[in-house]
Structure 1
């Protein structure tokens, strides 16, 4: 019994009823003009449904009245973009009017039938309703009086469910809109991955430099070296704070110009930071780096940053060779360093190296990370033109 009466306590039942009544307002107005041609409103809906903005209005009404309070995205609120969408809107408008007519009939005539049954039970004759016109008054009709109300209750709930299903079928996103939503979702996931990589590369680099510098200063026990180490830690920390603020701006969806992101033209900052940490960097940059496309140059900077961070983190203050070459719009970036104590290791599976490979793959390039035949650790990335 509780389950049967539960729809009475739901606001959705009444908002759906309102949604089904709305088309009947137009029919009621037309009935005052000419009640012999009630088919005219239904005919007018055909050209109306081909108006692109009508689909937006129907979608908004469906969200507000058929599924109120929910995050249901089954109803599109975009204007009709294709003739198929327009035709679906026309079918929905006709279906909505049909369901509205049924709902209005149920809500009007079934309660009237209940009233007339009560009158029969009280001894009155019924002359207006054909079903009860020849019925003789009897108290037993009082037992039948609740049945039309129960039927009206079930019909209202059922027609509301049917209207919601029809709206999902005819007002749902088209194939083009589903593809667009999927692309938008993919872009959001890529952006989250990019933010995660930005944090890993920038903050990881700064912390690595700080740890290495602090350890070296303690071992050196030299005031001059300690002063240089503190300066390097300060500069690296300040740069990391700038990167952190920028990344947090992305998380807050703040509009930041792409020009504020570091590119390979700022590679000297990374190289000087690594040198200040005690590593001997042999760098060679050839070609028009400033002519690289923005995405390539920005991702190249982060790849170089992660590669240098790995050198300091895993090999320490060892000599490293950095080669950046730009030729015909393509970028080749290579970082090599000897493994400490001649140890050989297998290619890493950490998030840093994985981030390098992901960055390269997103730009249509390729990345190789791991020891080479000479026993050095190598990070080599090739990014195609454009």
Structure 2
């Protein structure tokens, strides 16, 4: 019983009823002008459906009254956009005809079924029935009173059923076309990719800064040398400032408040990465082969982040060890090779999001990455195509 009455506790049931009633306004108004104009209502609506803006108007009404969604929400069910193709116009025309038919039927029953109940009650009392009722009853019978609630129950079923029917038709006829569904899917995919990229940016930048800070703080405490402590604090300050700039830039992108605070770093800015690692105790040997300035911006930016993550792993898992960095630009590709000894007590960085992020960055650019032990060393080898 509760489930049967549940729809009548929802506002959308009544807004759907209103939506159907509105559909009967046009023929009702035209009927007062001339009966012929009333019969021309379907033709007038068909011509209106060919106007591109009509789809947006109907979508706005349907989304607000039939589904209860905000009109400015996404268009996965009902779109609020003008017709872009003749197929969209055709579906709009069919929708207007279906809404007119169902709406007129519901409006008629909304008026006639309560009148029928009134006639049944009047018949049970022996009062002459209203001539405008759908069913004219004769005679006085007590059982008319028993049947009196049935038209109202039927009206309730009509309201709920017609509301569900017209909502299904709206999703079918005013929903996104295949091209619009594809565009929406591509947009959602782009948003997901952007979120993943931002997550990797934050992981690489903040993770590197925290690793440098931890290593420098530990080394300064162990050294007990005021001069070394000053240098360590300067390195922590510089790395932290860089991380804050990256964080502010990423948050600016998330807020969409304007252009980024600063451009994303590229391999041309690798010196500060190397200096940060050297100040943390790593002994770096870097060699660059080929014209680094010819590397396209996206490739160079991702290469910087890969190098940053690789050096962060060295400091985190191996500590102050010699590190060989080779950057090679040749034969249409960018090669990055980071190699360092892996002490016996060190835990190989075979898990976590850092190495996965390196592989994902390489794969997104059509390249590949190999990470793992190699002849007693730990090696990160990445090849990225330049085109």
TM-score, normalised to structure 1, is: 0.91
Q: Deviations over 1:193-221 (max 9, x none)?
A: 21221121111111111122122222322
- Could you say which residue in structure 1 is the equivalent of 2:32? 32
- 8 Å Cα contact 2:372/2:380 also seen in 1: yes
- Could you say which residue in structure 1 is the equivalent of 2:116? 113
Does residue 47 of the first structure (1) align with residue 47 of the second (2)?
Answer: yes
C-alpha displacement of 1:109: 1.3
Query: CA 1:238/1:140 → structure 2, altered by over 3 Å: closer, same or farther?
Result: same
Query: CA 1:233/1:130 → structure 2, altered by over 3 Å: closer, same or farther?
Result: closer
- 8 Å Cα contact 1:125/1:133 also seen in 2: no
Aligned with 2:317 (options 314, 318, 335)? 314
Does residue 293 of the first structure (1) align with residue 300 of the second (2)?
Answer: no
CA distance in 1, matches of 2:211, 2:346: 22
- Could you say which residue in structure 1 is the equivalent of 2:19? 19
- Could you say which residue in structure 1 is the equivalent of 2:380? 379
Helix, strand or coil at the partner of 1:36: helix
Q: Deviations over 1:34-72 (max 9, x none)?
A: 213533111122232232222222222111101115778
- Could you say which residue in structure 1 is the equivalent of 2:371? 369
Aligned with 1:282 (options 270, 281, 285)? 285
- Could you say which residue in structure 2 is the equivalent of 1:78? 81
Does residue 162 of the first structure (1) align with residue 161 of the second (2)?
Answer: no
C-alpha displacement of 1:345: 7.8
- 8 Å Cα contact 1:347/1:371 also seen in 2: no
Aligned with 1:175 (options 153, 162, 178)? 178
- Could you say which residue in structure 2 is the equivalent of 1:58? 58
C-alpha displacement of 1:244: 1.9
Aligned with 2:335 (options 328, 332, 336)? 332
Query: CA 1:310/1:3 → structure 2, altered by over 3 Å: closer, same or farther?
Result: closer
Q: Deviations over 1:328-368 (max 9, x none)?
A: 65321111112225x89877132111100000101111111
- 8 Å Cα contact 2:13/2:160 also seen in 1: yes
CA distance in 1, matches of 2:338, 2:307: 8
CA distance in 2, matches of 1:188, 1:148: 52
Helix, strand or coil at the partner of 2:35: coil
- 4+ residue segments displaced more than 4 Å: 69-72, 129-134, 343-347
- 8 Å Cα contact 2:23/2:103 also seen in 1: yes
C-alpha displacement of 1:19: 0.5
- 8 Å Cα contact 1:126/1:132 also seen in 2: no
CA distance in 2, matches of 1:125, 1:21: 30
Structure 1 alignment gaps of length 5 or more: none
CA distance in 1, matches of 2:163, 2:258: 43
CA distance in 1, matches of 2:279, 2:222: 15
Q: Deviations over 1:174-232 (max 9, x none)?
A: 22222222222222222222122112111111111112212222232222222211111
Helix, strand or coil at the partner of 1:190: helix
- Could you say which residue in structure 2 is the equivalent of 1:3? 3
Matches within 5 A, 1:335-350: 335-341=338-344, 348-350=350-352
Aligned with 1:356 (options 329, 333, 358)? 358
- Could you say which residue in structure 1 is the equivalent of 2:218? 215
C-alpha displacement of 1:162: 0.9
- Could you say which residue in structure 2 is the equivalent of 1:200? 203
More off after superposition, 23-32 vs 258-267: 258-267
Aligned with 1:152 (options 146, 155, 172)? 155
Aligned residues: 384
C-alpha displacement of 1:163: 0.8
